[in-house]
């Protein structure tokens, strides 16, 4: 009996150690407009691990938010944007590979999602490095009903509440992989989205990023 108790206690200790050692994946996106603390989802392991790998390698450092659209999103992660001269068309670069889609989570304000090629990509595979952060706007029930009919999906009450209160872009749901969310620094999205832009929605003054793992 004593041996069984010792075994059981030891087993519980191992379980507790394992649980405590599992940490959330948090990255910090640093910009001149402030910092955004971002939680990466365990439910999208391909995108999570890839983003952590690139951040650890310093891949994102000094890249630009090269496409920003108020009410929509801010986009970055194109390696061609590093030291890109004014007027250079951006948005086509990447690390040389794409990622299998892990589509599921909605596009609430502050969510982190993977960019992708729209045409010739029926599997909706993601860019290996380009991402966007949703700004969006509040969505009412009638529009959510419309997106449900169009996309054949059903939002639960919690999701409806978030779309109505904080907003987002439900038109993007089921089209792109959402793999994280800004948990601190939402105001930075607004600041970047509202900078002066050229005809290609590239900020006139470069908005550089640096991403590190916390």
At how many degrees (to 10) do helices 141-151 and 157-165 cross? 130
| The pLDDT value given to residue 24 | 83
Residue 171 per-residue DSSP state: G
Does residue 10 register a pLDDT over 50?
A: no
The pTM score is 0.89
pLDDT at 3 over 90: no
State the Cα–Cα distance between residues 166 and 43, nearest whole angstrom: 22
pLDDT at res. 23: 66
Mean pLDDT of the chain: 91
Q: Summarize the confidence of residues 137-154 as an average pLDDT.
A: 97
- Angle at 82 (CA atoms; ends 27, 75), nearest 5 degrees: 55
5 CB neighbour count, 10 Å cutoff = 9
Cα–Cα distances (Å) from 151 to 11, 147, 174, in that order, read 47, 6, 8
Average pLDDT of the segment spanning 29-37:
98
Give the pLDDT of residue 196: 97
pLDDT at 119: 79
Tabulate helix, strand, coil % of the chain (nearest 5): 30, 25, 45
Give the residue with greater pLDDT, 21 vs 61. 61
pLDDT at 160 over 50: yes
CA torsion sign for 80, 83, 85, 87 is positive
Residue 95: other Cβ atoms inside 10 A: 17
Domains and CATH numbers, the chain: 27-213 (2.40.100.10)
């Amino acid at each position: 009996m004593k041996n069984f108790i010792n075994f059981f206690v030891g087993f519980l200790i191992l379980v507790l150690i394992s649980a405590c050692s599992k940490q959330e994946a948090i990255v910090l996106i640093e910009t001149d407009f402030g910092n955004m603390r971002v939680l990466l989802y365990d439910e999208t392991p391909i995108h999570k691990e890839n983003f952590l790998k690139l951040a650890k390698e310093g891949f994102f450092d000094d890249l630009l938010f090269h496409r920003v659209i108020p009410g929509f999103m801010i986009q970055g992660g194109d390696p061609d944007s590093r030291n890109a001269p004014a007027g250079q068309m951006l948005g086509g670069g990447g690390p040389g590979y794409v990622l299998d889609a892990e589509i599921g989570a909605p596009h609430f304000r502050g969510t982190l999602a993977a960019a992708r090629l729209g045409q010739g990509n029926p599997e909706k595979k993601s860019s290996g490095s380009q991402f966007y952060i949703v700004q969006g706007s509040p969505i009412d029930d009638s529009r959510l009903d419309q997106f449900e009919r169009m996309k054949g999906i059903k939002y639960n009450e919690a999701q409806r509440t978030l779309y109505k209160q904080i907003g987002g872009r439900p038109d993007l749901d089921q089209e792109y992989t959402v793999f994280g969310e800004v948990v601190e620094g939402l105001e930075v999205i607004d600041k970047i989205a509202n900078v002066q832009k050229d005809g290609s929605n590239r900020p006139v003054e470069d908005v550089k990023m640096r991403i590190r793992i916390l």
